[in-house]
Chains A and B, each alone.
Chain A
Amino acid sequence: MSAETITDELLVAYADSEIPPEERSRVNHALATDPAVKTRFDRLSGTPSLKEPFGLLFAAAPEDRLAALLKDAEAKVALPPALPARAVRRPRAAIAAAILLFLAGGAVGIGLQSAVLHTGGSVTGEQENWRAAVADYLSLYTRDTLAGIPDNPDERARELAAAGAKLSLPLDVGKVVLPDLALKRAEVFAFRDKPLVQIAYLSPATGPVAFCIIDNGQKDAPPAFEEREGRGVVFWGKAGRGFMIIGNLPRDRLKLLAETLAARVA
């Protein structure tokens, strides 16, 4: 066997006892007969032991702080929800403050009009169109739309209570807070006279994210994925309400967020 076919990968796998069985005898033979291969093997397998040095890092781990982080995480995920002040220790996850806006159309008009243009009028069409309206509206958002909203958990709580009342669906911060997304505000809109709530978040990495609920008699439907206005959407229906989460996030991440929200808000 020529030495060129014995790659570094094979030699390292051999040293790690991970060599594919069909290659073992070939490497054995090369090691026994080819000094160049043997030298290369000795060099590659002679790297320092890592278990002890990294054991020091394990020993250095801040045990108390980590236990506190776990408690925070449990509080965040817990049902019934914990107080927001406790759920967010770190500024990155901080819940920002609020504006409570009851918009009866107004700014939303742009989004809604364009949605109306594509409507077919069927029930299915109706149920899709609210998502188109939300996606259109969100396309006007930039990071700056949300970045300036100050952190105010009391405002958030009031907005969510008001939004929940419109939907006849109890909402609070603990139910809608999401990991790695800053909760920015909850607003009440209407789409064809049906109450529509938008809860806006800001992802530090990818900008605005919105979780929306409409009380429009929607049929139950499991979560499904689609793309609108260049953003990912996961939407589902439950107990007469339509839900969607939309944002510039990976599909799996959106699905996970949707699962989380579906479990808490229903």
Chain B
Amino acid sequence: MSETANDVVRKGLAAELKRLWRYGLVLSGSRTSADDLVQATCVRALERAHQFTPGTHLDRWLFSILHSIWLNDLRAARYRRGEGLVDAETALVFDGLREVETNILAGQVLRQVQALPEVQRETVFLVYVEGLAYREAAKVLDVPIGTIMSRLAAARARLAGLASDGDEGKVV
């Protein structure tokens, strides 16, 4: 049984790397940190592969690992080094990403989301970008569903306010 779980994790990891990196980028606001998060997530996922339940979603499991590494290790380390909140870096996150620089409208939306408080940002990301159900997002982030609901409502209110003085957006 645990061999099967190991196999699923080993075989499935490669296909999830780009999504993990994107999640890492959204969380940390830094491409270097996103790299670090992906690598640490891979190490931990391989180490605890036997704990994965075959038949459940590997991506959700990996998201929750990445989330807890960010929370417990990397973000804490950054605070300790006195680098404080990631917001300072926000403006630079997408610089040099050709895909974003050539698409002005998309770039605006990304910057709006990136400007949300961290907990709102990652909740919005998991639900509206990765398509997790509220219940699944609650599990990944280890919070009650009510917290997911209030984060999304607050984020939507902010985005709506920001969107109203800019371009009209499509419905999510």
A253 adjacent to B72 (CB under 8 Å):
yes
* Chain B, range 116-172, C-beta contacts under 8 Å to A: 124-125, 127-129, 133-134, 146, 149-150, 152-154, 156-157, 159-160, 163-164, 167, 169-172
CB distance from A145 to the nearest CB of B (A): 17
Chain B binding surface, main DSSP class: helix
> How far apart sit A260 and B170, CA to CA, in the bound complex (Å)?
47
Tell me if B13 counts as interface (CB < 8 A to partner A). Answer: yes
- Max count, chain B CB within 10 A of own CB: residue among A46, A57, A62: A57
Q: Evaluate contact between B72 and A54: CB separation under 8 angstroms.
A: no
Residues of A within 8 A of B72 (CB): 205, 250, 253
Listed stretches A10-18, A121-129, A167-175; interface member = A10-18
Please name the residue on chain A nearest to B75 by beta carbon. A205
B159 to A: closest C-beta gap in Å: 4
Which chain B positions have C-beta within 8 A of A65? 35
Q: Which residue of B10, B43, B153 is within 8 Å of A11 (Cβ)?
A: B153
Check if B157 sits within 8 Å of A66, measured CB to CB: no
Size category, A interface: 35 or more
Of the candidates A12, A45, A54, A250, the one whose C-beta lies within 8 Å of that of B129 is: A54
**Max chain A CB contacts within 10 Å: which of B31, B44, B149?**
B149
Assess A48 versus B134: contact at CB under 8 Å? Given A9-B153, A60-B98, A66-B21: no
CB closest chain-B residue, reference A63: B18
> B36-65 interface mask toward A, CB cutoff 8 Å, 1 = contact, 0 = none?
101110111011100000000000000000
Closest chain-A Cβ to B99's Cβ sits at a distance in Å of: 4
When distances are taken between beta carbons in the complex, the residues of chain B under 8 Å from A58 are 18-19, 22
Q: Is A147 an interface residue (CB 8 A)?
A: no
What is the number of residues of chain B that contact chain A, defined by CB distance less than 8 Å? Answer: 64
Query: Given known contacts A45-B171, A66-B17, A93-B39, what 16 new A-B pairs fall within 8 Å (CB)?
Result: A8-B153, A9-B146, A9-B152, A43-B157, A50-B125, A53-B106, A53-B109, A56-B100, A56-B106, A59-B99, A60-B98, A70-B39, A73-B46, A74-B10, A74-B46, A180-B40
In the A-B complex, the 5 residue pairs with the closest CB atoms? A48-B169, A73-B42, A53-B106, A8-B153, A61-B18
Interface positions of B (Cβ within 8 A of A): 10, 13-14, 17-19, 21-22, 25-26, 31, 35-36, 38-40, 42-44, 46-48, 69, 72-73, 76-77, 80, 97-100, 103, 105-107, 109-110, 112-113, 124-125, 127-129, 133-134, 146, 149-150, 152-154, 156-157, 159-160, 163-164, 167, 169-172
What residues make up the interface of A, taking CB atoms closer than 8 Å to B? 7-9, 11-13, 15-16, 18, 43-54, 56-63, 65-67, 69-70, 72-74, 76-77, 89-90, 92-93, 179-180, 204-206, 250, 253, 256, 259-260
28 contacts between A and B (CB under 8 A): A9-B150, A12-B156, A18-B134, A43-B157, A46-B171, A47-B159, A48-B159, A48-B170, A50-B128, A51-B128, A52-B106, A53-B109, A54-B22, A54-B129, A58-B19, A61-B17, A62-B31, A62-B35, A63-B17, A65-B35, A66-B21, A67-B14, A69-B38, A74-B10, A93-B39, A179-B40, A204-B80, A206-B76
